[in-house]
């Protein structure tokens, strides 16, 4: 699968989810992660869809895979914080929340005036 095909598959899954077709979205994201296990975007999308569906174990598994690929990503740290909060582990939620805040600060330091 080419990178464009993978991106299209992830986008299709996101559209399916937005249209209420959760099973189709999960199936497409499962396919994306199977054919491209190093795709951060696919794992993160799978984590978010599962989280929205309250499938916390599946969300955590996918989020941990995404985090392993990009541990300093602001958004995956935020996702992990939300998952751990929902699971009732405030300590882990705060850890990932702090990591997200640090990454946000780093981004502000790299781009202080919001320049592109």
pLDDT in tens, 11-51: 999 999 999 999 999 999 999 999 999 999 999 999 999 99
Q: How many CB atoms lie within 10 A of CB 75?
A: 15
* Domain, as residue range, for 20: 3-110
In a domain, 60, yes or no: yes
What total number of domains does the chain contain?
1
Q: Is residue 49 part of a domain?
A: yes
Structural domain contains residue 86: yes
Q: Are 49 and 69 in contact (CB under 8 A)?
A: no
- Give residue for tokens 């199977």: 34
Residue 115 domain-assigned?
A: no
Of 80 and 115, the one with more pLDDT:
80
pTM of the complete model: 0.85
Does residue 24 lie within any of the structural domains? yes
Which CATH number does the domain housing residue 55 bear? 1.25.40.10
For the chain, the average pLDDT equals 93
Cβ atoms 29, 41 nearer than 8 A: no
Query: Residue 116: its pLDDT value, please?
Result: 52
Residue 115 has pLDDT above 70, yes or no: no
Given a cut of 70, is residue 114 above it in pLDDT? no
Residue 114, sorted as left (phi over 0), alpha (psi -120 to 50) or beta, turns out to be left
Report the pLDDT value the prediction gives residue 110, as an integer from 0 to 100. 83
The pLDDT of residue 113 is: 73
Three-state DSSP state, 87? coil
Judge whether 73 lies within some domain. yes
pLDDT given at position 64: 98
Mean pLDDT over 64-93 rounds to: 95
């Amino acid at each position: 699968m080419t990178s464009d095909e993978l991106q299209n598959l992830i986008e299709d899954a996101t559209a399916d989810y937005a249209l209420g077709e959760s099973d189709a979205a999960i199936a497409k994201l499962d396919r994306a992660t199977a054919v491209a296990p190093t795709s951060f975007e696919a794992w993160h999308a799978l984590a978010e869809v599962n989280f929205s569906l309250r499938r916390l174990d599946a969300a955590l598994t996918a989020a941990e895979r995404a985090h392993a690929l990009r541990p300093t990503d602001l958004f995956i740290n935020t996702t992990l914080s939300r998952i751990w909060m929902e699971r009732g582990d405030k300590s882990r939620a705060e850890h990932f929340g702090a990591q997200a805040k640090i990454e946000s600060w780093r981004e502000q330091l790299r781009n202080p005036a919001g320049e592109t």
